[in-house]
Amino acid sequence: MAFTSGTVEFAHPSLPSPAQTWYRVYGDLSSSSSSSSSSSSSSSTQPPLVVLHGGPGYCHNYMLPLADLASPSSGEERPVVLYDQIGNGLSSHYPEKRGDATFWTVGLFLAELENLLAKLGIAGRQFDLLGHSWGGMLGAEFAVTRPTGLRRLILSNAPAAVSLWVDSVARLRSTLPQEVRDVLDRCEREDRLDSEEYEHATVEFLNRFGCRTQPWPADLIDSIVWTTEKDTTVASTMLGRSEFFVEGSLKDWTIVDRIARINVPTLLINGEYDEAQDSTLEPFFQAIDKVKWVTLAGAGHCAQFDARDKYLDVVKGFLQL
């Protein structure tokens, strides 16, 4: 599939020097329409879809299934924009900022998104936005500002508050086999969260509720390697050391009291076995005026792998409305 890759410079007051945000565009971004009408059957009029990856600390790789929407076989050839948030993947890294909660803020990532949209010529035109997990949290933060040009919003497997996420994960953890729970409890009690034993028990959880596709797809593994081995700065600072609780700078994050400001049609997606259980999405459903919610049978948190065809059909159908 045809794509173009590159970087855009991102300057921000908190940065010691301008960063580089790496991006990849599938399809022809220049051909997407700047018109307010998106109902034409011509593929050249389809607004671009900008994708926000999760983590924090992952990178674009595990969201690559969405590039299929730019394929001629999709029937619409919608431009799809993927990028790595700074501190992640192929964008600029700042390992010296490990543990600096005043640096790794939601505001920094929002400014980066706004900069990317401007540098790619998307700002001010019609575009759609899809955020997965943390990317959905970031997408919601962006949407409440009511940015010009945002046409449709997709919050995929994303919680409305970190406290709701932690509660959901705790309930799912209680369904694990007793021997797995015993390992997790013991390692946490002994502060051995970096042990191989704890890692293996965590993978048991993720096989059920993270990505149920076995073996895990290579694109997902690539993202995991980035955040767990190559550079753990963002994840360790914003989340912490465990899948089961948040001790980093996002621990008190919530958008529940601001959701009603989202004024564009919104699609909510989660999986039947998702870490983001229904309770984490419910505030979005209750507060957004024009909202649709789809739960994908048999899928976990990575529904783009676990129910790939259905996931893409749901996204495509929503964007075509």
Active-site residue list: 133, 274, 301
How far apart CA 62 and CA 224 sit, in angstroms, is 9
Cα separations in angstroms, 254 against 153, 161, 163, 209, 251: 18, 4, 8, 22, 9
Which residues 6+ apart lie within 8 Å of 12 measured at CB?
A: 19, 108, 111, 112
Which pair of tokens denotes residue 171?
């309930």
Contacts 24+ apart (CB under 8 A), 307-311: 307/271, 308/65, 311/65, 311/269
DSSP string, 251-301: TT-B-GGGGGG--S-EEEEEETT-SS-HHHHHHHHHH-SSEEEEEETT--S
The total number of residues written for the chain in this structure: 321
